[in-house]
Amino acid sequence: MTWQSGSTQRIRYYDDQLLTARDLQDEASYQTRLRELHVRALHNTWGVALGFEVVLSPQQASVQMGPGLAYDCRGREIVSARPLLIKLPNPPDEALELEQRWVFDLVIRYADSTTLVGDCPRTGTCFSSDPAEERPLWRWVYAGVTQPDQPPLPIADQVRLGEEIPIVRLQIGETHQPEFDTSQRRNTQGLTRPYLASGQVRQDSLEISGSPLAWSVFINTASSGFSSAGGASGVFYFANLLSHPFSAASGFAQLLSPAAMTALTQQLLGPFVSIASPYYASGFLLNVRFAARSSQSLSELLNQYRELRRSRDLTLPVGVHWLGVELVKGCPPPAISELLTLPQYSYLFNFLPNF
């Protein structure tokens, strides 16, 4: 069976089957294809994931790009296991005025085995390093001329963003030292989704504090799976009452006669629902308040309030539905401080291809 590139057909083996190099290569290609689909479908991101720090060499004639890991828009891993020494680009023919500088972008891209090995025979001596070693292709792309008071130049049109990943921007002039700018660098952004949980609290299932016109109740969400982390990055809550606290089906309906309840609701504004302590993973405090429609009805409302205040051991008058949203930011990649100072590998010029 011949496995087609890009296929998702599963590779199968049998006892006593004679395997060739092509069979093993097909198996590796199949696993690589699944990883690419995983990155594209689940993470939907491309750029530098780790490393690829860039520093200017002491001679200021080249840059040292450290080891790193990146992904392109097709989900392919772009890996460099060692520092690469890259020559600075040659200045273009475009003349510079005072304070102007040429702008170049260093971009990398994925290189398959055929591109890396090329026409060199397997037993040849055209490599000063392992031809199977993973390493990216790189090139300098001229973006134009700029000066300090101008806005940043966009990435050049010839850069195929997604397949090519910007690493660093270089500004260089006839009388100015090379300067690096990482504002155009593309980093991976892990696709993270918030954790959602919701619930419903039954009527009369909890005791409330306060009076029927101003009451509070604590809604417990500890069993919903939220983390214990609090603060501004914790859980955000939303809540709504399933019916009006002074409707006929409310638990407050037994506190007054139907006529008095109707008269009371005509004088009220509300309910006004708010949430206190919304970032606690274990729950939140639900506050419900009412107000008078006008100052003329305030005295009558106070009389009704005195009668309601005589009630004790009030319970939740209506059901409550709530929704919690916990932000998930993911884990930042570890820092690679040791890449700030890199050894020189001048021999890498002998085999590193650019494009």
**Structural domain includes residue 129:** yes
Same structural domain, 155 and 276: no
Same domain, 160 and 78: yes
pLDDT confidence of residue 178: 81
284 in any annotated domain? yes
Name the token pair of 331. Answer: 């884990």
Map residue 232 onto helix, strand or coil.
helix
DSSP 23: H
Residue 70: how many CB atoms within 10 A of its CB? 25
pLDDT score recorded for residue 307 = 59
Residue 191 has a pLDDT of: 65
Judging by DSSP bridges, how do beta strands 214-220 and 283-292 pair with one another?
antiparallel
Say how far apart CA 179 and CA 165 lie, in whole Å: 19
Place of tokens 């109707």: 262
Whether 78 is in a domain gets the answer yes
Alpha-carbon distance values, 172 to 104, 108, 138, 159, 345 (Å): 8, 20, 19, 20, 23
| Regions of the chain with pLDDT less than 50 | 1-3, 123-128, 230-232, 332-334, 336-355
* pLDDT at residue 341 in the model: 40
pLDDT 10s digits, 36-95: 777 777 777 888 888 888 888 777 778 888 888 888 888 888 888 888 888 888 888 777
Whether 48 and 178 share a structural domain: yes
Shared-domain flag, residues 174 and 208: no
* Residue 151 shares a structural domain with residue 169: yes
- 8 A C-beta contact, residue 108 and residue 53: no
- Give yes or no: residues 217 and 103 share one domain: no
210 and 268 share a domain? yes
Rounded to an integer, what distance in angstroms lies between the CA atom of residue 163 and that of residue 137? 11
Inside any domain, residue 80:
yes
Same domain, 81 and 172: yes
Contact (CB, 8 A) for 191 and 42: yes
Query: Are 210 and 297 found together in one domain?
Result: yes
Does residue 271 have a cis peptide bond before it, meaning omega lies within 30 degrees of 0? yes
What local confidence, expressed as pLDDT, does residue 347 receive? 39
Domain membership flag for residue 8: no
pLDDT at 218: 94
Residue labelled with tokens 């009220």: 268
Residues in the chain: 355
Instruction: Judge if 276 and 148 occupy the same domain.
Output: no
Position 161 scores a pLDDT of 86
pLDDT of 342 reads 38
Say if residue 301 is exposed, middle or buried (CB neighbours under 10 Å; 0-12, 13-18, 19+): buried
Residue 307 lies in a domain: yes
Together in a domain, 164 and 256 = no
Could you report the per-residue pLDDT of 217-235, keeping only the tens digit for each?
999 998 888 876 544 457 8
Asked if the structure places residue 207 within a domain, the reply is yes
Asked, for residue 5, whether it belongs to a domain, the answer is: no
At residue 305, the pLDDT reads 59
Q: Are residues 152 and 207 in the same domain?
A: no
- How confident is the model at residue 4, as a pLDDT? 52
Coil, strand, or helix at residue 207?
strand
**How many structural domains comprise the chain?**
2
Name the residue range of residue 151's domain: 44-190+338-350
Angle between helices 258-267 and 298-309 (to 10 degrees): 130
